Amino acid sequence: MSSLRTFARLLVSLIGFLAISGGFAGAQQTAPPPPPGAQQGQSQQNPPAQGQQKEPPKIVSTTGLVHVVATVMDRHHNFITDLDQNDFKVMEDGVQQQIRFFGRDTDLPLRIGLLLDTSNSIRPRLEFEQDAAIDFLSSVIRRNKDQAFLMTFDNEPEVVQDYTGDVSDLTNAIRKQRAGGGTALNDALYRASEKLINPPIPPGQTAAEVRRVIVVISDGDDNLSDHALSESLEAAIRAEAAIYCISTNTDWVAIDNPDKPTKYHYDPGDKVLQQFSDASGGRTFFPYKVDDLAQSFVDIGTELRSQYFIAYSPTNPLSNGNYRKIDIEADRKGLTVRARKGYYATASGEPSSPGASK
């Protein structure tokens, strides 16, 4: 009987030891990082303070890579699509970076936010803008691959059609819009950037493998937004969204030659649109005639299929959330490279999102 009691005590001790050692081993293992686009949970070691607001959805990078999509054009504004990795030089804050991944990857799934200005100022052009926007989506959206949402903005932004790959749903939503009210452009861009933070991801892919695009049709004026221009631009940069703007302002045209009008002056609205597109790696179009609006959409669609994908691992290891400048150059003479001008350096487990502190 005593030997039986001794065996039982040994068995209990062994089980206890295995439980302790198993817990220790589990504590030493590193939990797998969340996939790109997943929401980061609040750390149990640092619970949120009472009354603290929950942070918005965030992009989480688990690779430590900076992804950049670049467009290259010659002096005649022709797209150059035959360059190789060795033809590019990437600088971050003045320091050259080594390109880790490169491709002429024009087949990335698109996630497009189409922002239609429905304020009173665009009333005379609304019908044609609707036609041009529908033609754009019909030519760009690929079935079972690309998706878009439609947002209108006058007194405030409103998502009138959520993400869908069905062009007929987008068409119906566009046709229903009417013009009237003020203009809240900054708020619309901020909200669109939030939606592009975590877009629908195709099966088997990650958030880093979709192309985020915002297309804005507006005159660039803003008289009702709660968000400042700088806040909206920061939100777009954090969402890694390229902004393409189509101006509805034709007051700048000087008709020296009706076939080739000359732009002598950029008004404040023009400068706002250019600021958005330049910083994000997009482009601003100033159609002269109403008919030119459709061509602007065609040019955007062509550009989205004529780009390079570049990824590099920053030589600066600090993840302090500060803004870092990116400059990409092509070695061939006479070429212009257009890409986003920078990003906010956050750790792989630390998200980048609209509203995050610098």
Summarised one tens digit per residue, pLDDT across range 164-173 is: 999 999 999 9
DSSP structural state of residue 142: P
Domain boundary at 278, 305, 332, which?
305
Please check whether residues 168 and 300 belong to one and the same domain.
yes
Cβ pair 199, 148 in contact under 8 A: no
Q: Which two tokens stand for residue 301?
A: 């669609």
Whether 303 has a pLDDT exceeding 70, the answer reads: yes
Residue 191 identity (one-letter amino acid): R
Decide if 254 is inside a domain.
Answer: yes
Please check whether residues 262 and 279 belong to one and the same domain.
yes
The reported pLDDT for the residue numbered 18 is 34
Please check whether residues 131 and 256 belong to one and the same domain.
yes
The CA-to-CA distance between both ends of the chain, in Å, stands at: 70
Please check whether residues 193 and 98 belong to one and the same domain.
no
Please check whether residues 158 and 212 belong to one and the same domain.
yes
Please check whether residues 293 and 173 belong to one and the same domain.
yes
pLDDT tens-digit series, residues 120-150:
988 888 988 899 899 899 999 999 999 999 9
Decide if 36 is inside a domain.
Answer: no
Decide if 55 is inside a domain.
Answer: no
Whether 8 has a pLDDT exceeding 70, the answer reads: no
Please check whether residues 178 and 326 belong to one and the same domain.
no
Please check whether residues 261 and 197 belong to one and the same domain.
yes
Cβ pair 307, 73 in contact under 8 A: no
Decide if 285 is inside a domain.
Answer: yes
Decide if 207 is inside a domain.
Answer: yes
Cβ pair 113, 147 in contact under 8 A: no
pLDDT tens-digit series, residues 237-270:
999 999 999 988 866 656 666 666 666 678 899 9
Please check whether residues 226 and 192 belong to one and the same domain.
yes
Decide if 129 is inside a domain.
Answer: yes
Q: Quick one: residue 130, left, alpha or beta (phi over 0 = left, psi -120 to 50 = alpha)? A: alpha
The reported pLDDT for the residue numbered 286 is 86
Number of domains in the chain: 2
Please check whether residues 157 and 261 belong to one and the same domain.
yes
Please check whether residues 93 and 115 belong to one and the same domain.
no
Angstrom distance (rounded) from CA 300 to CA 74: 17
CATH number at 191 reads: 3.40.50.410
Whether 2 has a pLDDT exceeding 60, the answer reads: no
Please check whether residues 98 and 128 belong to one and the same domain.
no
The reported pLDDT for the residue numbered 249 is 80
Cβ pair 344, 323 in contact under 8 A: yes
Contacts of 167 (CB under 8 A, 6+ apart): 134, 137, 138, 141
Kindly tell me the sign of the dihedral angle through the C-alpha atoms of 189, 190, 192, 198.
positive
Decide if 43 is inside a domain.
Answer: no
Whether 35 has a pLDDT exceeding 50, the answer reads: no
Contacts of 114 (CB under 8 A, 6+ apart): 133, 136, 137, 148, 149, 150, 151, 170, 215, 217
Which structural domain, as residue segments, surrounds residue 162? 110-305
Mean pLDDT over the full length of the chain: 81
Quote the longest CA-to-CA distance of the chain: 113
Q: Which two tokens stand for residue 150?
A: 């439609």
